């Protein structure tokens, strides 16, 4: 079997689609194989792909500059003749992802170099599709490890625009994954807890999809709290009868203070965000919120509450299984503006206009002047030679951020918010082509908003910011021009009736609770195994055969609970996912099975068990109240 066949056979075991593509691909331009200084090199489009003196040393030097831990992700852009790829494949303690979008190079080099041994390794991946690469990144990422991009110097010279685009895309992808992982780590259990608290009231909240196409063909305006909202207030008033108005919670007070009443208010926060609606007559407005959002929202006096059961939020899949509701229509990306955008789509609006969606700090302002966060400002510090977030009035900011009665707690919340914002300062491409300051979270929202417009391309999307971040897929236009040709929207009193099957929900919930008994038994079994392991450690004092046998039993038990059983029982997974992320990271980073390391891991597994038992008890108590 030849070199090409060996490579294709090995590649097909991981990516049959790419293997087939390469088999049938005929290069339009063949790279030229050159030998000089006792090394082979490739010349392509007039450029040498590797160092002409010593390409192997070049590859070793590049890889030597990378952090190399068991959790490392080495993302390689460009294969060349494979020097860097093979050095990484041989030396990486973590994951290697080779991304080569140029099929001419890939097909040619597959005929020249045998990569079959590298491709067969479980930690090595090759693709020409960034979406496939990003899935591998997601599967191997945690909150403490993210991919390091490495490439040959020739790549950035040959493809400067593509290289910059890939760097930005990789940053945006990692930012999006970080938000997902952060949510998993910080909010899984608290979301579950809040969902159970909300359940008795959720029976009275109609799923938003039941209103599908209610405003078919109409214009929607989605208002966020960015600085440019202030510039559009008068236009919003002038054309108020020509659009359905969706507003995010942070912008609600700005509209109310200017006598503009929204149709729908969107708030999805898990934390207590009642400051956003405090002192406002809500009786003639509809609320769109998540099943797991803070219970103060579900107890508020809105005219009616509709559930946006976001399909990318795992906790909602648990609720959907209980009530047997289809949630594929509910797209979300963790930002309330995205939820409002999708709500307008579900309701059938054919033109969707963004107002105040700057995703950047404009002329010193972080938010609209009447927003709860109006005291945050972004200014350039000449002494430090950088942009900084500060507060015009720290006490007033603290009052808007926290509902605590303790002024010190409120002040600490404000200081922490400012500190975190400064840590996450970022720059994105602006509508005018310049780079504008923002925070990393907002930067991560640019791509999802753009992808939304690309996916649901059967309607018109307009961004009225004109000075904020560039969002591809949206026409940049002033609000006056965007609204002047829109038709009149009649006021609708939404009277749709919908009832959940409560008995079915109760039955499904009981089944989910019964599943937990398996986990409870396995936890007790695991505790006994740890007890036996500790006895063996006391007796033998070295990591010999008996100690390692006992340790293996502990690991097998933990792996069953954190893997197979967690996949089966979403309830258990939500209770333990945060501890699993940290514990798995700790286990991957353990380089030697000595007694201290074994004891460290077993102590953390025991803590994992203890937290699981505490949370099982708490959820069962909450579930008992729901079933009553």
Q: Residue 367 has what pLDDT?
A: 65
Residue 126, Cβ density class (10 Å: 0-12 exposed, 13-18 middle, ≥19 buried): buried
Between helix 160-202 and helix 314-323 the angle, nearest 10°, is 40
Q: Are residues 316 and 286 in the same domain?
A: yes
The residue ranking higher by pLDDT, 114 or 144, is 114
DSSP class per residue in 193-205? HHHHHHHHHHTTS
Q: Residue 181 has what pLDDT?
A: 60
CB 547 within 8 A of CB 537: yes
Q: Residue 187 has what pLDDT?
A: 77
Say how many Å lie between the first and final Cα of the chain, rounded.
Answer: 69
Mean pLDDT of all residues in 576-582: 83
The residue ranking higher by pLDDT, 138 or 266, is 266
Q: How far is CA 449 from CA 161, 474, 585, in A?
A: 23, 9, 32
C-alpha span between 469 and 435 (Å, rounded): 8
Tokens 């930067």 sit on residue? 443
The residue ranking higher by pLDDT, 589 or 625, is 625
Q: Are residues 220 and 101 in the same domain?
A: no
Q: Is residue 291 part of a domain?
A: yes
What's the order of all strands across the beta sheet hosting 47-48? Answer: 32-36, 39-44, 47-48
Q: Residue 394 has what pLDDT?
A: 82
For residue 580, the enclosing domain spans: 502-627
Q: Are residues 27 and 128 in the same domain?
A: yes
Q: Is residue 617 part of a domain?
A: yes
Q: How far is CA 397 from CA 226, 372, 374, 427, in A?
A: 16, 8, 8, 24
Mean pLDDT of all residues in 489-507: 89
Condensed to tens digits (0 to 9), the pLDDT of residues 151-185 reads 999 988 888 888 888 887 887 777 666 666 655 55
| N residues, the chain | 628
Q: Residue 365 has what pLDDT?
A: 64
Q: Are residues 283 and 404 in the same domain?
A: yes
Mean pLDDT of all residues in 560-576: 91
Q: Are residues 129 and 208 in the same domain?
A: no
The residue ranking higher by pLDDT, 409 or 215, is 215
Q: Give me the percent of the chain exceeding a pLDDT of 90.
A: 59
The H or E element containing residue 251 is helix 249-257
Q: Are residues 93 and 204 in the same domain?
A: no
Number of domains within the chain: 3
CB 235 within 8 A of CB 479: yes
Tokens 């400064």 sit on residue? 422
Mean pLDDT of all residues in 214-224: 96
CB 137 within 8 A of CB 129: no
Q: Is residue 169 part of a domain?
A: no
Q: Are residues 304 and 200 in the same domain?
A: yes
User: What is the torsional sign of CA 65, 69, 73, 76?
Assistant: positive
Condensed to tens digits (0 to 9), the pLDDT of residues 99-123 reads 999 999 999 999 999 999 999 999 9
C-alpha span between 95 and 573 (Å, rounded): 25
Q: Is it the case that residue 580 has pLDDT exceeding 80?
A: yes
Q: Is residue 175 part of a domain?
A: no
Mean pLDDT of all residues in 251-266: 96
C-alpha span between 496 and 207 (Å, rounded): 11
Q: Is it the case that residue 475 has pLDDT exceeding 70?
A: yes
The residue ranking higher by pLDDT, 393 or 41, is 41
Q: Is it the case that residue 423 has pLDDT exceeding 90?
A: no
Q: Residue 396 has what pLDDT?
A: 81
Q: Are residues 261 and 373 in the same domain?
A: yes
Between helix 595-627 and helix 545-559 the angle, nearest 10°, is 30
Tokens of 331: 């797209």
Q: Residue 250 has what pLDDT?
A: 92
Tokens of 363: 């002329």
Q: Residue 424 has what pLDDT?
A: 65
Q: Are residues 463 and 514 in the same domain?
A: no
Tokens of 117: 């041994």
Q: How far is CA 65 from CA 58, 62, 437, in A?
A: 11, 6, 30
Domain boundary residue, one of 483, 515, 534: 483
Q: Is residue 177 part of a domain?
A: no
Q: Residue 180 has what pLDDT?
A: 62
Condensed to tens digits (0 to 9), the pLDDT of residues 408-422 reads 888 888 888 788 777
Mean pLDDT of all residues in 321-350: 93
Q: What is the CATH number of the domain that holds 105?
A: 3.90.190
Q: How many CA atoms lie within 13 A of 157 on its CB side?
A: 10
Q: Which residues pair with 580 in a beta bridge?
A: none
C-alpha span between 169 and 325 (Å, rounded): 34
Q: Residue 593 has what pLDDT?
A: 86
Q: Residue 410 has what pLDDT?
A: 81
- Compute the mean pLDDT over every residue in the chain, rounded to the nearest whole number: 89
Between helix 16-24 and helix 103-112 the angle, nearest 10°, is 90
As separate numbers, helices (DSSP H) first and strands (DSSP E) second, the chain gives: 23, 20
Phi, then psi, of 119 in degrees rounded to 5:
-65, -25
Q: Residue 366 has what pLDDT?
A: 59
Q: Is it the case that residue 138 has pLDDT exceeding 80?
A: no
Q: Is residue 164 part of a domain?
A: no
Q: Residue 447 has what pLDDT?
A: 86
Q: Is residue 58 part of a domain?
A: yes
Q: Are residues 548 and 405 in the same domain?
A: no
The residue ranking higher by pLDDT, 333 or 553, is 553
Q: Comparing 347-351, 438-442, 518-522, 549-553, which segment has the lowest mean pLDDT?
A: 438-442
Q: How many CA atoms lie within 13 A of 101 on its CB side?
A: 11
Q: Which residues pair with 150 in a beta bridge?
A: 76
Q: Comparing 177-186, 270-279, 478-487, which segment has the lowest mean pLDDT?
A: 177-186
Q: Is residue 493 part of a domain?
A: no
C-alpha span between 88 and 62 (Å, rounded): 10
Q: Are residues 124 and 225 in the same domain?
A: no
Mean pLDDT of all residues in 450-473: 94
Tokens 């740890």 sit on residue? 530
C-alpha span between 127 and 14 (Å, rounded): 10
Q: Are residues 221 and 279 in the same domain?
A: yes
């Amino acid at each position: 079997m030849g070199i090409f066949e060996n490579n294709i056979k090995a590649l097909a075991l991981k990516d049959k689609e790419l293997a087939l593509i390469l088999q049938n691909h005929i290069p339009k331009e063949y790279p030229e194989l050159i030998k000089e200084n006792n090394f082979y090199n490739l010349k392509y489009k007039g450029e040498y792909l590797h160092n002409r003196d010593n390409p192997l040393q070049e590859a070793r030097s590049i890889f030597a500059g990378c952090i190399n831990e068991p959790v490392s992700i080495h993302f390689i852009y460009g294969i060349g003749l494979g020097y860097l790829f093979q050095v990484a494949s041989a030396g990486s303690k973590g994951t290697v992802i080779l991304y080569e979008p140029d099929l001419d190079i890939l097909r040619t080099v597959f005929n020249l170099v045998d990569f079959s041994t590298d491709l067969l390794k479980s930690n090595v991946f090759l693709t020409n599709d960034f979406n496939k690469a990003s899935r591998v990144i997601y599967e191997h990422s945690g909150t403490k490890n993210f991919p390091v991009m490495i490439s040959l110097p020739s790549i950035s010279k040959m493809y400067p625009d593509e290289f910059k685009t890939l760097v930005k895309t990789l940053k945006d992808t990692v930012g999006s994954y970080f938000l997902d992982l952060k949510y998993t780590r910080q909010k899984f259990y608290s979301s579950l807890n809040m969902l159970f608290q909300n359940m008795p009231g959720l029976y009275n909240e109609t799923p938003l999809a039941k209103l599908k196409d209610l405003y078919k063909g109409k214009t929607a305006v989605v208002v966020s709290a960015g600085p440019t909202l202030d510039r559009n207030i008068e236009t919003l008033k002038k054309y108020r009868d020509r659009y359905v108005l969706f507003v995010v919670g942070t912008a609600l007070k700005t509209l109310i203070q200017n006598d503009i009443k929204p149709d729908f208010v969107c708030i999805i926060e898990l934390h207590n965000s009642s400051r956003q609606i405090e002192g406002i007559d809500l009786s003639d407005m509809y609320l769109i919120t998540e099943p797991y959002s803070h219970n103060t929202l579900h107890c508020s006096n809105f005219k009616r509450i509709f559930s946006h059961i976001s399909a990318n939020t795992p906790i909602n899949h648990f609720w959907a299984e209980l009530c047997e509701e289809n949630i594929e229509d509910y797209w979300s990306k963790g930002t309330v503006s995205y939820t409002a955008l999708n709500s307008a789509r579900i309701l059938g609006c054919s033109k969707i206009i963004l107002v105040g969606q700057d995703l950047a700090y404009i002329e010193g302002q972080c938010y609209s002047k009447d927003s709860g966060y109006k005291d945050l400002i972004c200014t350039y510090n000449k002494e430090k030679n950088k942009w900084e977030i500060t507060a015009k009035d720290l006490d007033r900011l603290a009052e808007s951020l926290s509902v605590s009665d303790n002024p010190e707690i409120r002040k600490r919340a404000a200081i922490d918010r400012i500190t975190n914002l400064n840590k996450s300062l970022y720059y994105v491409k602006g509508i005018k082509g310049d780079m504008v300051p923002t925070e990393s979270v907002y930067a991560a929202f640019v791509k999802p908003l753009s992808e939304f417009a690309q996916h649901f391309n059967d309607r018109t999307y307009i961004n009225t910011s004109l000075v904020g971040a560039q969002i591809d897929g949206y026409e940049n236009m002033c609000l006056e021009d965007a609204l002047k040709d829109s038709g009149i929207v009649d006021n609708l009193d939404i009277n749709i009736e919908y009832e959940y099957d409560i008995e079915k929900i109760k039955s499904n919930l009981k089944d989910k609770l019964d599943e937990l008994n398996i986990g409870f038994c396995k936890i007790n079994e695991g505790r006994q195994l740890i007890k036996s392991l500790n006895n063996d450690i006391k007796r033998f004092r070295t990591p010999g055969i008996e100690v390692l046998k006992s340790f293996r039993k502990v690991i097998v038990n933990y792996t069953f609970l954190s893997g197979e059983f967690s996949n089966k029982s979403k309830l258990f997974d939500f209770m333990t996912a945060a501890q699993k992320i940290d514990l798995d990271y700790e286990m991957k980073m353990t380089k030697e099975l000595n007694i201290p390391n074994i004891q460290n891991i077993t102590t953390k597994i025991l803590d994992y068990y203890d937290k699981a038992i505490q949370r099982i008890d708490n959820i069962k108590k909450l579930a008992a109240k729901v079933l009553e």
